[in-house]
Amino acid sequence: MSANLNPSAGYNLNATQNGGAAPPCQNGPGQTYPSVYHAAGYYSSHPQSYPPVMGQGPAPSGKAPVMNSQYHPSYYHNSHPQPVQPTVRAGPPVYDAAQTQVSQSCSATGAPPSSAHHAPQHPPPFKPLTSYPAPYYAPYPASQGLAATAASSAPLYPVASYSSAPGANQYSTVRSSQAPQAQLYQGPPGIGAPPTAVSTAPCTYARPPSGPQVAVNGQVSAVSSPVLQHYDQTQPVVTQSYKALDGDGAGERPPSGTPSNSVHSSPGHHPGADSSTTGSSSPVPNNYESLEDGSYPDSSSLPPPPPSSKAVPPFGYSYPNLHPAYQQKPASRTDTTPSYGGCNPPGYQPFSQPFPNMSQLSTALGGLSGVPELQVEGLRPVNLLQERNILPPSPLPDPEPNLSADLRKVNCSPDTFRCTLTNIPQTQALLNKAKLPLGLLLHPFRDLTQLPVITSNTIVRCRSCRTYINPFVTFLDQRRWKCNLCYRVNDVPDEFMYNPVTRSYGEPHKRPEVQNSTVEFIASSDYMLRPPQPAVYLFVLDVSHNAVETGYLTIFCQSLLDNLDKLPGDTRTRLGFVTFDSTIHFYNLQEGLSQPQMLVVSDIEDIFLPTPDSLLVNLKESRELVKDLLSSLPGMFTHTRETHSALGPALQAAYKLMSPTGGRVSVFQTQLPTQGAGLLQSREDPNLRSSTKGVQHLGPATDFYKKLALDCSGQQIAVDLFLLTSQYSDLASLACVAKYSAGSIYYYPSFHHVHNLPQLEKFQKDLQRYLTRKIGFEAVMRIRCTKGLSIHTFHGNFFVRSTDLLSLANVNPDSGFAVQMSIDESLADTSLTCFQAALLYTSSKGKRRIRVHTLCLPVVSQLSDVFAGADIQAVTCLLANMAIDRSVSSSLSDARDALVNAVVDSLSAYRNTSNLQPAGLVAPSALRLFPLYVLALLKQKALRTGTSTRLDDRVFAMCEFKSQPLQHVMRLVHPNLYRVDNLSDQGALHLNDRMVPQPQLLQLTAEKLTREGAFLMDCGSLLYLWVGKSCSEPFIRDVLGCPDHSSIPQNMSQIPELDNPSSARMRTFLSWLQESRSFWPVLHVVKDDASAKTSFFQHLVEDRTESAFSYYEFLLHIQQQMSK
């Protein structure tokens, strides 16, 4: 029992650290681990003791300050010729020996004094700490000078002497007498002793003596994780700013309904505040738990330590800390949801830290040979034709790579970074055999609850491939680390030896960079080509007759007025407006004017800026004028008769206006551009909307918008397109302007402020989010991967600058990217592969920052392992991206065939590997949803044929697939269906003070619907509430506030707030669903006879339509194809 509990707790810590499933809004980690350190005074004595340590201890090799300048001269992370590496590398075998001895002696010699001294007076430091008085690096500079001098005297790390008694003795003794480690090394007394409630040391030390280092490691990481939180607290500024930026998302939760740990506390929590929440609603595990997380999960191979009541909270209490799979259905832990406790089979050997060298690494991985249950589960053959209820009752759990517990704990959150195959095949041949696509899905700029931000003079990177140091590098010894991507051995710079978290020296492996796979660096000026740009926003508004008719202008102006103060930016923020019909209107908002001045340029052939200086103005200085303009703008064009739209020239003007600074251009367009450059003709033939043959005109009609986007991208301008239209507007051409400048596309078909209220509401909510969400300017993202892998194709909105570099003029938290990979060289000589995505951007506050995500995955040589590790959601998303590319470059029917073939091929490949030849259609359990998802894809607006689909709708759906993050795409492809008329608190989720009901997921078939029920369908940006004709009166009365079914209004889009338990439950559930995404979904209440019924039923993908297979027919079709 306890053995099971602990690993899950460990998992939870992982999620929290990475911001995993935690709510995406408060980057300020303030409220978490609030009280790790007390006794700032206690530590404050340490710095004084440093210099002597430095003098005596083994000398560092290499001088950080000198190397700084060599380290990152290039703005774009280009690799560059490496300076000669100063250290001589000692042979690994020598090293192993030395190392083990050292660590042994460390623990042995270091322990007694520490346990004598410190253990009593320094019980785990869990009292609340109000603040860390000393500045982050305060003690360091003092010792740095000394370190540098010492370094010059001994350039080579004295490997041999290190293990010899005197040096090691001094070193370890001093070290252990200094810092919190003291407590760690209190080993000896604890050996063999029964574990106690408070101290976690004993259980790790209860290991056989052969692995003392391992034991220490477990301990080390245990302590350092809370420490990291603390470390964050030392950056209150950052915390604050993030909160401000993400303010609107205060209640947001991650997609996928994995609210696991995440009961984040209210935004009111601030750094240093003790969260003081109880176990059940605490946003993070309490300190004891987190301490254990580091050490217990490894100990499954040991006799399970009897958990004390203090250490392991009662089951009910620890609820939020468990994995979602547990949380949601504790009772239904069926065989379809693998038990997480089982993920750490006895075979796992904990390993790592101080300096896990190669041999250790391989032993650790050797432990993997016992195939974990998860993998076995992934391979369980499922006969799809017989399995009627293929859908699991709760959302699919996130994929778990088959890694050791330590690595898994630090691995990147699957919401941010995931791979289609969690087991990477060794060779391209093996990958080809599996017939599954290999690729990554990224959501790099996601709102995170918790993000370690590192300010450091030296950003430690590999000197040959420029990889950032990450948790998966190997420390060969104190002074050298081995890059996990190119295997080059690098020096550890001096500065890195000092750990600001523990304030101790000589522990590079405990630095936050090495403890977290998602970190953010504050970059130095080496990462700038020019001074960081201010936040600049330009709004380009269509004011032709058509636009005024839709009434969007009023809503936009109101929304911007409301959010003027929330626009991300600082005192330099600049704002500008351009409106256009057949002419271009500029607005002079220069400070000092009594009212805004409109300047009309009617020469649209050769556009020029009337007054270049005063059109983009400082928001702070001209706030009143901006407000004036926004309040008068809607009225200015009410009687316009101008029906033409000169979008092209307006965009050219915007480009001219923005090019000196870069920034964001938001274009609002309501019709086909009819004048000037970039004018378009209607290409849609309404008669072909439902043709089954093929769809024309999916590509752009002109390259004007693409070229403009590339120019914009070069000047760091992103163009976001809002298309509010009722007629065909050739989105295929217009979208290019956003696609290649890294913008976003929003589409509101048949928008009207009176006649289409749901769209209106959606537009308002979207604008609210759009205006206030975080933004990164002049960004680039580079994706590096282990030698042998290479990037094949990118999918998303950006411009590909080189083989692994994306140029993103702006980056926003709602865009996702997909990358296809290929295997160039065999990965046989490595057991782990890593992928690192580094996003360099300028924050809205004018800070240059680098966000680094690192994902580590195992390499396998067996085809069956490749199948077992397939992440079907990621595979589906990647296939969707590939299919869309194919449909634009080739044809829609090609793309559809390719999708079907993908299923046929991979299932045939599986059939060929498994010896058994059972009848029916057999899929490995990991792929059991593959046919369903592909069928759903084929029925999407983007890819369907035979059903009437407007061209713009189709193109927009394609754009969404390419630019949305995985969770959103999955909800589009396969919506979640719940029965909601009988919501109960059974199995509900406890969040703070709320109980969120967790109804079962239903299959998307009309068979599951009954007239007696009410069903909620969650399609990402839309929620449908379908109310059956004979739905129970109490439900209609209590929840919808109507006396009976017939009196439910036609266009109901809100659930009234009624004071009764069922209404409360329903609203909690709805708001929980809505919080989990960044864009507010619109609710449609669908009556049995309403016209919206059609669109509701179109989402029931398992049913047959006139032109498409039902799920069962599709399976038969696949079986038939396979037998050919």
Partner 1 sequence: MAFTFAAFCYMLALLLTAALIFFAIWHIIAFDELKTDYKNPIDQCNTLNPLVLPEYLIHVFFCIMFLCAAEWLTLGLNMPLLAYHVWRYMSRPVMSGPGLYDPTTIMNADILAYCQKEGWCKLAFYLLSFFYYLYGMIYVLVSS
Instruction: Name the residues that contact partner 1, by CB under 8 A.
Output: 78, 699-704, 706-707, 710, 714, 740, 790-794, 799-805, 820, 822
- Report how far apart, in Å, the C-alpha atoms of 289 and of each of 5, 219, 225 are: 11, 13, 11
Q: CA 718, CA 710: separation in Å to the nearest integer?
A: 10
Query: Contact, 885 vs 877, CB < 8 A?
Result: no
Q: Is 873 exposed, middle or buried (0-12, 13-18, 19+ CB in 10 A)?
A: buried
Q: CA 138, CA 126: separation in Å to the nearest integer?
A: 23
Of 526 and 804, the one with the shorter C-beta distance to partner 1 is 804
Minimum CB distance to partner 1, residue 703 (Å) = 5
Q: Is 456 exposed, middle or buried (0-12, 13-18, 19+ CB in 10 A)?
A: buried
Minimum CB distance to partner 1, residue 468 (Å) = 19
Write the DSSP symbol of residue 1039: I
Minimum CB distance to partner 1, residue 364 (Å) = 34
Query: Contact, 568 vs 812, CB < 8 A?
Result: no
Structure tokens at 834: 């890593």
Minimum CB distance to partner 1, residue 617 (Å) = 31
Minimum CB distance to partner 1, residue 530 (Å) = 17
Q: CA 265, CA 273: separation in Å to the nearest integer?
A: 11
Q: CA 1002, CA 389: separation in Å to the nearest integer?
A: 9
In DSSP terms, which residues pair with 724 in a beta bridge? 748
Of 605 and 613, the one with the shorter C-beta distance to partner 1 is 605
Minimum CB distance to partner 1, residue 878 (Å) = 15
Secondary structure element (H or E) that encloses residue 838, with its range: strand 832-843
Of 603 and 824, the one with the shorter C-beta distance to partner 1 is 824
Q: Residue 145, Cβ neighbours under 10 Å: how many?
A: 12
Structure tokens at 769: 């989010």
Q: CA 153, CA 381: separation in Å to the nearest integer?
A: 64
Of 227 and 701, the one with the shorter C-beta distance to partner 1 is 701
- In DSSP notation, 458-525 reads ---B-TTT-PBP-TT-EEEETTEEE-TTT--EEEPPHHHHEETTTTEES-GGGSHHHH-SEEEEEP-G
- Report how far apart, in Å, the C-alpha atoms of 835 and of each of 17, 362, 400, 570 are: 19, 20, 16, 34
Of 224 and 820, the one with the shorter C-beta distance to partner 1 is 820
Of 790 and 948, the one with the shorter C-beta distance to partner 1 is 790
Q: CA 343, CA 400: separation in Å to the nearest integer?
A: 9
Burial readout 952-972 (b: 16 or more C-beta within 10 A, e: otherwise): bbbbbbbbbbbbbbbbbbbbb
**For residues 117, 121, 123 and 129, what is the CA-based torsion angle, rounded to 10 degrees?**
-130
Nearest residue to 229 (alpha-carbon basis) of 166, 145, 287: 287
Of 81 and 592, the one with the shorter C-beta distance to partner 1 is 81
Of 367 and 700, the one with the shorter C-beta distance to partner 1 is 700
Query: Contact, 860 vs 419, CB < 8 A?
Result: no
Minimum CB distance to partner 1, residue 710 (Å) = 6
Minimum CB distance to partner 1, residue 1110 (Å) = 35
Per DSSP, the three-state class of 861 is coil
Residues 6+ apart with CB under 8 A from 231: 452, 500, 501, 512
In DSSP terms, which residues pair with 108 in a beta bridge? none
Minimum CB distance to partner 1, residue 485 (Å) = 16
Of 148 and 888, the one with the shorter C-beta distance to partner 1 is 888
Per DSSP, the three-state class of 76 is coil
Q: CA 16, CA 449: separation in Å to the nearest integer?
A: 8
Q: CA 401, CA 417: separation in Å to the nearest integer?
A: 12
Within 2-86, residue ranges assigned H as helices are 2-17, 40-44, 46-56, 64-71
Minimum CB distance to partner 1, residue 652 (Å) = 15
Minimum CB distance to partner 1, residue 896 (Å) = 20
Of 702 and 947, the one with the shorter C-beta distance to partner 1 is 702
Of 514 and 884, the one with the shorter C-beta distance to partner 1 is 884
Of 78 and 948, the one with the shorter C-beta distance to partner 1 is 78
Q: CA 185, CA 219: separation in Å to the nearest integer?
A: 9
Minimum CB distance to partner 1, residue 830 (Å) = 22
Of 704 and 763, the one with the shorter C-beta distance to partner 1 is 704
Minimum CB distance to partner 1, residue 677 (Å) = 10
Minimum CB distance to partner 1, residue 191 (Å) = 55
Of 78 and 595, the one with the shorter C-beta distance to partner 1 is 78
Of 570 and 804, the one with the shorter C-beta distance to partner 1 is 804
Residue with tokens 């006794």: 39
Write the DSSP symbol of residue 85: P
Of 807 and 998, the one with the shorter C-beta distance to partner 1 is 807
Minimum CB distance to partner 1, residue 444 (Å) = 19
Of 539 and 705, the one with the shorter C-beta distance to partner 1 is 705
Minimum CB distance to partner 1, residue 420 (Å) = 17
Of 548 and 819, the one with the shorter C-beta distance to partner 1 is 819
Q: What is the CA radius of gyration of the chain?
A: 30
Burial readout 921-933 (b: 16 or more C-beta within 10 A, e: otherwise): bbbbbbbbbbbbb
Query: Contact, 475 vs 511, CB < 8 A?
Result: no
Minimum CB distance to partner 1, residue 715 (Å) = 12
Write the DSSP symbol of residue 529: S
Minimum CB distance to partner 1, residue 717 (Å) = 15
